[in-house]
Amino acid sequence: MTSSGVDGRVAALAAQVGERAGRAAWPGEIAALDLACRAAGALRQKDFIAAGVHQQYVSLLARIGVLVRVSRGCYSVADAAGGAAWQALAVAAMRWPGSAACGPAAAAFHGLGPDDPDAVWIAIARGRGRPRGTIGGRQVAVREWLPSRMEAGVRPVQIGGVTVLVATPEYAVAELMEMSSRIGARRAYDAARAFVNAGGDRAALRGALDDLHGRRWRDFAISALVMD
């Protein structure tokens, strides 16, 4: 974003402060907004402090909804591209390098179904320490993948300037099938239908199903939908 674009965005956000707080934005708040608008992704509390912005201004902006806390001590502009759900994936990538968005999170990212409102789903290579914690009030849910799958089943994307690994559409659908007893068969069915309607590669989906389930993928009641 150009300097004039940043200035315009900061002015618009400062106007939101006026509308929501009933007063003009304080200089410290404007400094925090300027920093957040120029940042490539979410900022940590220490980033604001390093720039001379007191934490009280960040907290005030978060309280009135101009900034959003995507995890403990980590903030972004509330209207950032992708919203808080995608920012949560960026935070997970920063906290646990090498992890990948998977399951409902990956399906939602690819437009194949709704995200899980209660959890941020990530995959890690089997044998690594299991992440724990919350991001933006949502529990981090972890699935363990074989290292080979972490290479073949994900692709890098940019979210707010952060490189995030996300399961491919076919792996996202295959994983929802595997999770159908937990999330509901209908949700997996709808994701599979969305994949097919979007022109998804059925051969690639067959490969993902074989990788996740072996030949057991043929036992899934919804497999006929995507494999006919």
Q: What is the DSSP letter of 140?
A: E
pLDDT, residue 211, reads 78
Nearest to 56 by CA among 47, 40, 45, 68: 45
Type of residue at 220: F
Q: Are residues 139 and 209 in the same domain?
A: yes
Q: Are residues 66 and 17 in the same domain?
A: yes
CATH at 43: 1.10.10
Q: Are residues 66 and 111 in the same domain?
A: no
Give the CA distances from residue 217 to residues 107, 118, 171, 174, 177, in Å, rounded to whole numbers and listed in that order. 18, 28, 13, 9, 9
Q: Are residues 125 and 64 in the same domain?
A: no
Q: Are residues 107 and 198 in the same domain?
A: yes
Asked which of 31-45, 65-79, 214-228 is least confident by mean pLDDT, the reply is 214-228
Q: Are residues 91 and 72 in the same domain?
A: no
pLDDT, residue 50, reads 94
* Whole-angstrom distance, CA of residue 133 vs CA of residue 66: 25
Looking at the predicted structure, is the pLDDT value of residue 224 above 60?
no
User: Based on the structure, what is the number of domains in the chain?
Assistant: 2
Residue 44 in tokens: 């940590």
Full strand arrangement of the beta sheet holding 43-44: 43-44, 74-77, 67-71
pLDDT, residue 81, reads 43
**Which of 39, 56, 77 is the C-terminal boundary of a domain?**
77
pLDDT, residue 122, reads 95
Q: Are residues 89 and 53 in the same domain?
A: no
Region 130-150: mean pLDDT is 87
**Which of 20, 51, 77 is the C-terminal boundary of a domain?**
77
Type of residue at 99: S
pLDDT, residue 214, reads 59
Mark out the alpha helices in the chain (DSSP H runs).
3-21, 27-38, 45-50, 55-63, 83-95, 103-109, 147-152, 169-178, 180-183, 185-197, 202-213, 223-227
Tell me the HSE value of 217 on the side-chain side, using a 13 A CA sphere: 23
Range of the domain at 196: 84-227
Q: Are residues 58 and 106 in the same domain?
A: no
What pairing do the DSSP bridges indicate for beta strands 134-135 and 138-145? antiparallel
* Whole-angstrom distance, CA of residue 116 vs CA of residue 177: 15
Q: Are residues 188 and 107 in the same domain?
A: yes
Q: Are residues 117 and 14 in the same domain?
A: no
Q: Are residues 88 and 28 in the same domain?
A: no
Give the CA distances from residue 189 to residues 75, 159, 222, in Å, rounded to whole numbers and listed in that order. 35, 28, 6
Q: Are residues 184 and 218 in the same domain?
A: yes
Q: Say if CB 131 and CB 124 are below 8 A apart.
A: yes
**Which of 55, 77, 99 is the C-terminal boundary of a domain?**
77
